[in-house]
Amino acid sequence: SGIGRKIAEAEMDIAKAKSEGYLWGNGTGGTGTEGSSRKKFLAVIGVYTGFGSRLKRNTFRGSWMPRGDALKTLEEKGVVIRFVIGRSPNRGDSLDRNINEENRKTNDFLILESHEEAAEELPKKVKFFFSAAIEAWDAEFYVKIDDNINLDLAGLIEMLNVRRGSHGLYMGCMKSGAVVSEE
């Protein structure tokens, strides 16, 4: 099937990225250790964001996304949430510095150091996010969302808990527009 082929291609891309050294400890929350001593999380939720989306991020932090100690408590319960962003094409410029400063205050970013943030680079951002998330956190589920949605976090956590142990599970929509389903 088409979706099976896409998943197989993504798995091959991740294996290739790993063999080429594109996986790294990101210093934003993973244990950095291998093996069974790593904590097993229910989910790592990556919220895709951009340099011009600070207002959206602040809206998230004021609505469904916990902040500060509440974010740490959620992680202790097995759910990691990070805003996902790459680096500016002009490394070290005000865009990068602003993200670094915001992250120092909030500690809720996964900064993809090897990814250049640009609209035409979004497919690569997906690969870099999943590679970095898998390297940093051992989780049942890895979730990608955009910073322009309102997430029912409790509902998502409940749904994922029910599906714990479902290997090879994909949920979501890979396009915009009408959703097509097989019946």
Contact in structure between 103 and 109 (CB atoms under 8 Å): yes
Cα torsion 123, 168, 165, 18 to 10°: value is -50
pTM of the model: 0.73
d(C-alpha 68, C-alpha 14), whole Å: 32
Residue 129: what pLDDT?
A: 95
Residue 24: what pLDDT?
A: 41
pLDDT in tens, 119-129: 888 889 999 99
Residue 113: what pLDDT?
A: 93
d(C-alpha 27, C-alpha 103), whole Å: 12
Residue 32: what pLDDT?
A: 40
Q: Which residues of the chain have pLDDT under 50?
A: 22-36
pLDDT in tens, 91-129: 889 999 999 999 999 999 999 999 999 888 888 999 999
Residue 23: what pLDDT?
A: 46
Contact in structure between 39 and 138 (CB atoms under 8 Å): yes
Matching residue, tokens 């976090």: 153
